[in-house]
Amino acid sequence: MFKKILIANRGEIALRIICACKELGIRTVAIYSEADRNSLHVRFADEAICIGPPQLSQSYLNIPAVISAAEIANVDAIHPGYGLLAENANFAEVCETCNIKFIGPPPEVMRLMGEKEKARAAMKKAGVPILPGSEGILGSDAEAMEWAEQVGFPVIIKASAGGGGRGMRIVRSKEELPALFKAASSEAAAAFGNGDLYMEKYVENPRHIEFQVLADQHGNVVSLGERECSIQRRHQKLLEESPSTQVTPELRAEIGGILSKTLSGIGYMNAGTIEFLMDRERKLYFIEMNTRIQVEHPVTEMVTDVDLVKSQIMIAADARLQDVLQGPVVSRGHAIECRINAEHPEKFTPSAGKITVFNPPGGTGVRIDTAAYAEGVIPPYYDSLIAKLIVRGKDRPEAISRMQRALGMFVVEGIHTTIPLHRRILAAPEFLVGNTDTGFIERFLAASKELAAQAKS
């Protein structure tokens, strides 16, 4: 087992990894930017090294600085968390060259899955259903037009290097294609340094359903069931739950089986998430794979009792899946996660600043993953996620009422948060009956605006 791990991240996920290391008896090294000097990940790690100024490019994304810290601290491994360098195959390669274990899949597998249009082709070859779409990168808007006519409007143009919902455009007609193609390409080039685009059939208001897997270094793969992440705004997840109301045990077993075969075929290792869209006929189509731990991993942990981060570390240290899991994976009850972002709940604009009051809820079945605290400052440079509130109930109705009461006892003052929005989502009749799809928030906000206008008149 590793003796010392460097955590190449910040915020709640850095703390989450520190928790796993402490329980495994592994020493931890935090890295931090000048803006994070007073952060909890710095306080709770065994050692901490400042790696630069607040700007991401000069600190958490600065590979030479991160590697120097790892060498100075003499660590055996690096856990990248999510975001930042987590899906950077070059970083994983540099770690390998420096004889530091990167806790994740091998660089070549990351590279394959990181180019979404290549991942699509690989999945199709392995028999995983994908949406109709272009083959390879779109060379020009004329080529895009040919594919769109073949696939049939509406289509969605997506960035091959995409992430975070950027570089994506829905195209409903021939006329709007050239301008949207250009916009997606320049957005992708600016965000990812790569303007490559591909195309898929656009599914109207699908559900977003993803499968969590773990794979060891000996060819064993296990699926830990699904999470439904349909409550999104601007293609970004806001609330996640497990299991999905739409996945039957048969479908779960079928997809689990296909994925295990596919992933051992491509030499996948460590934790991974395979994302699908589900259409009205309850058919699942692969959209992308994330080769890292996900923000919403706790909902799977709550229903399966498997510690995914500890599993990642043990697998990277060459443990076999059977020793990590110690028995079959059984899912019990229902879990929900609400992402508490520091932002205006309706305008979705960031709300950085000082937290004056911070009272997180507790009680049966409630978990909070956060690095926030009273008098702590949310810097404007980073992600707006300040806490994840996760609950488990014996079934979906109990999980919903538990989440409502926990949100009601979660007091954050000094900044705006998404807490009030979550309370309203959980009370919406559509949500209560499980009628969730990716168009939910838009419909819900439009309906609340209308209600507010009626109340005024």
d(CA 94, CA 91): 5
**How near is the Cβ of 283 to ligand ADP at its closest, in Å?**
13
**How near is the Cβ of 72 to ligand ADP at its closest, in Å?**
34
Cβ count near 237 (within 10 Å):
20
**How near is the Cβ of 217 to ligand ADP at its closest, in Å?**
27
- H-helix or E-strand spanning residue 111: helix 107-114
d(CA 102, CA 106): 8
Nearest CA to 440 out of 155, 225, 228 is that of: 228
Label residues 380-397 b or e (16+ Cβ within 10 Å = b). eebbbbbbbbbbbbeebe
Contact between 299 and 388 under an 8 Å Cβ cutoff? The reply is no
**Of 10, 120, 233, 292, which residue is the catalytic one?**
292
* Smaller CB separation from ligand ADP, 42 or 231: 231
d(CA 121, CA 124): 5
* Smaller CB separation from ligand ADP, 105 or 206: 206
Peptide bond into 380 cis (omega under 30): no
Q: Enter the DSSP assignment of 35.
A: G
**How near is the Cβ of 382 to ligand ADP at its closest, in Å?**
18
**How near is the Cβ of 409 to ligand ADP at its closest, in Å?**
30
Nearest CA to 110 out of 290, 276, 264 is that of: 290
d(CA 56, CA 417): 23
Cβ count near 357 (within 10 Å):
10
**How near is the Cβ of 287 to ligand ADP at its closest, in Å?**
4
16 catalytic? Reply is: no
CA 408 to chain centroid: 25
* Smaller CB separation from ligand ADP, 227 or 392: 227
d(CA 92, CA 73): 18
> Which residues, in sequence order, are CB contacts of 9 under 8 Å at separation 6+?
17, 41, 60, 79, 80, 81, 82, 83, 84, 86
* Smaller CB separation from ligand ADP, 171 or 221: 171
* Smaller CB separation from ligand ADP, 145 or 352: 145
Task: Give bridge partners of residue 391 from the DSSP assignment.
Answer: 336, 366
* Smaller CB separation from ligand ADP, 113 or 372: 113
Q: Which residues bind ligand ADP (CB under 6 A)?
A: 131, 156, 162-165, 200, 202-203, 206, 208, 232, 235, 275, 277, 287-288, 438
d(CA 88, CA 24): 26
H helix runs in 168-241, sequence order: 177-192
Longest CA pairwise span in the chain (Å): 68
**Residue/partner pairs of 64-67 with CB below 8 Å, 24 or more apart:** 65/31, 66/6, 66/8, 66/31, 66/91, 67/94, 67/95, 67/98, 67/100
The residues carrying an active-site annotation are 292
